[in-house]
Structure 1
Amino acid sequence: MSRMHPIVSVTGSSGAGTTSVMHTFEQIFRREHVDVAFVEGDSFHRYDRVAMKTAMAEAQARGDHAFSHFGPAANLFDDLEELFRHYGETGSGKIRRYLHDAEEAKPYGQQPGTFTPWEELPADSDMLFYEGLHGAIVTDEVDVARHADLRIGVVPVINLEWIQKLHRDKMVRGYTSEAVTDTILRRMPDYLNYMCRQFSCTDVNFQRVPMVDTSNPFIARTIPTADESFLIIRFRDPNNIDFSYLLGMLHDSFMSRPNTIVCPGGKMDLAMQLIFTPMILRLLDRRRAELGAR
């Protein structure tokens, strides 16, 4: 953690909705005139798209049917921790981009599914913002979570997460239901061992719970909407959280535990604006105070 160079990390699995959270933070950063260095978690995968298919085939050939993007074998956890550590100390570090599709790849003259070259972060940013799979990862070898000043988990209930992934991968990426199901099954050991554990390290968790039947996510025709859901907001440390103010602003909300607010799912963006704007401003005030003391 760093007073001078704060780090905010948003972590959640594929299909969890972390990209929507990033857009909310972009609004906060734009409104508050914060100069942010953005880091995409996919850029710290170990393999590009072609190499990942090869590595997966090799894993299956040797009897490993649980090789996935969720685990350490397919990721550069050491490099991610080094980025967080180095940025916290100096405000700089090396990043690259993963080019998901032709639109992203065109400006670089590369193929989709490849990485751009490593490069230095822009100088003099106010903070680093990470969005991806492993923003709070802790293993026997690395501890990324300890370097972040604000850790946020986005964790829809598992059936909803699967529905979102099924619809995205089928509609946007053209995968079959069978292919997506195989991916879900293959990822399950790493999901349990590496993804779930992160959400004990996060400062705030957002979990969307649908109020419609999702008992068989593999036949769901539509994704439950925000208005068909409740949002569970859990604070790891409830001290200095003005729950009365939040309940007053988030109408039809209530507290289910001393550190947990339940509100209508459609209020997720408002809830994040109310909760995280003062947290971001406190990080900036701390940074300015440190700058002034030097």
Structure 2
Amino acid sequence: MSRQHPIIAVTGSSGAGLSTIRHALKFIFKRLNIRPAIVHGDGFQRYTERQFAGLLEEARGSGRKISRFGPDFNHFTELESFFRTYGECGSGVYRQYAHTAEHGMKLGVQPGEFTPWSALQPGSDLLFYEGQHGGLVANTWTRRKVDSRHFPPEVDRRVGRQGIDVAQHVDLLIGVTPAINLEWIQKIHRDCKKGTCSPAESVETILRRMDDYIHYIVPQFGLTDINIQRIPLVDTSDPFIARDVPLPDESLCVIHFRARERHDFPDLLKRIPDAYMSRPTTMVVPSRSLRLALGVICGPILTRFMQSKASGPD
């Protein structure tokens, strides 16, 4: 953590609703006149879209399950190094991933590919990271999935302890984790809307990445400073036949705070309409009020960051 170069990370699975939180925080940055360096976690993936497609086809042929969540498909060491370096000097080495043809034209690369690794431009007030591994701690044994294609499929090929701790460098870690059925509904509908795959293929992706989801995504939510879980108020018991995504008026957001002493809950409740505390560290707000709630909750935290930054070096 760094007084001069604070880091905010929003973490969660793809399809969980990270972009909603990103847009809300960007509005807060603008209101507080904060200049963020915005970095997306996709740039720290290991393979291009074409390379991953080839590895996925090979894995299906051997009956193995792979995903973009695990260590074989991400530069975890480089991500931690980037966070550490930014905290030290306000810069660091990263790259960007082109999601679309239009985005690729801006970056000068083909869609589904990466820009070269380069230094982040200095001069930002803080780093804002949005991705799947902003709170990653991987100190357990991991299984090599891609490289084990040279060994019999039944071999559990252990590669040692990762020793990765991205979370230690983050000053404000926000987790986004809808109720699991809602998360699946959002992913299926998002994929179909983008035209990237059929509903059946989206479901196959959910099943294929489940092991890595449990081991590399879920543990991060035990480390978050603020965790946001959207709970639907309509029937989502069978997410694979849902015709639409529940609207904000059809859901609530459960917001959990790790450190009670950092927040003035009576004041927050006065400023967020219809909010209430379900537990001493858990607030419930209507989903339609989430953007307002984030401004009320995160605004004072960001202001303290900027005041600490202005007071001088650590």
Equivalent-residue separation in structure 2 for 1:61 and 1:277 (angstroms): 50
Paired residue for 2:78? Answer: 79
Equivalent-residue separation in structure 2 for 1:196 and 1:27 (angstroms): 28
Paired residue for 2:35? Answer: 35
1:272 aligned to 2:294?
yes
SS state at 1:85 partner: helix
SS state at 2:165 partner: coil
Post-superposition offset of 1:204: 0.2
Question: Is the 2:108–2:115 contact (alpha carbons within 8 Å) kept by the matching residues of 1?
Answer: no
SS state at 1:69 partner: coil
1:108 aligned to 2:130?
no
TM-superposition CA deviations, 1:82-123 (whole Å, max 9, x none): 000111111110111110011101223422101111111111
Post-superposition offset of 1:63: 3.7
Paired residue for 2:210? Answer: 188
Equivalent-residue separation in structure 2 for 1:250 and 1:109 (angstroms): 43
Equivalent-residue separation in structure 2 for 1:276 and 1:26 (angstroms): 11
What is the letter of the counterpart of residue 309 of structure 2? R
Paired residue for 1:21? Answer: 21
What is the letter of the counterpart of residue 51 of structure 1? Q
Equivalent-residue separation in structure 1 for 2:183 and 2:107 (angstroms): 32
Equivalent-residue separation in structure 2 for 1:280 and 1:162 (angstroms): 32
Q: Percent identity?
A: 48
Equivalent-residue separation in structure 1 for 2:72 and 2:214 (angstroms): 15
SS state at 1:99 partner: coil
Paired residue for 1:143? Answer: 165
Equivalent-residue separation in structure 2 for 1:288 and 1:54 (angstroms): 50
TM-superposition CA deviations, 1:237-277 (whole Å, max 9, x none): 11131111111122222111110001111110000000001
Gaps of 5+ in 1: none
1:152 aligned to 2:174?
yes
Equivalent-residue separation in structure 2 for 1:214 and 1:224 (angstroms): 9
TM-superposition CA deviations, 1:126-166 (whole Å, max 9, x none): 11110011100110120000000000001110000000100
What is the letter of the counterpart of residue 89 of structure 1? E
Post-superposition offset of 1:54: 1.4
Post-superposition offset of 1:62: 4.1
SS state at 1:57 partner: helix
What is the letter of the counterpart of residue 253 of structure 2? L
Paired residue for 2:248? Answer: 226
Paired residue for 2:58? Answer: 58
SS state at 1:206 partner: strand
Root mean square deviation of aligned Cα: 1.2
1:68 aligned to 2:90?
no
Post-superposition offset of 1:60: 3.2
Equivalent-residue separation in structure 1 for 2:94 and 2:196 (angstroms): 29
1:258 pairs with 262, 267, 280, which one? 280
SS state at 1:156 partner: coil
SS state at 1:123 partner: coil
Equivalent-residue separation in structure 2 for 1:196 and 1:107 (angstroms): 34
Q: Aligned residues, how many?
A: 291
1:161 aligned to 2:171?
no
SS state at 1:239 partner: helix
What TM-score do you get using the length of structure 2 for normalisation? 0.90
1:178 aligned to 2:200?
yes
Tell which deviates more after alignment, 173-182 or 127-136: 173-182
Paired residue for 1:122? Answer: 121
Question: Is the 2:43–2:96 contact (alpha carbons within 8 Å) kept by the matching residues of 1?
Answer: yes
Equivalent-residue separation in structure 1 for 2:273 and 2:34 (angstroms): 29
Question: Is the 2:98–2:107 contact (alpha carbons within 8 Å) kept by the matching residues of 1?
Answer: no
What is the letter of the counterpart of residue 7 of structure 2? I
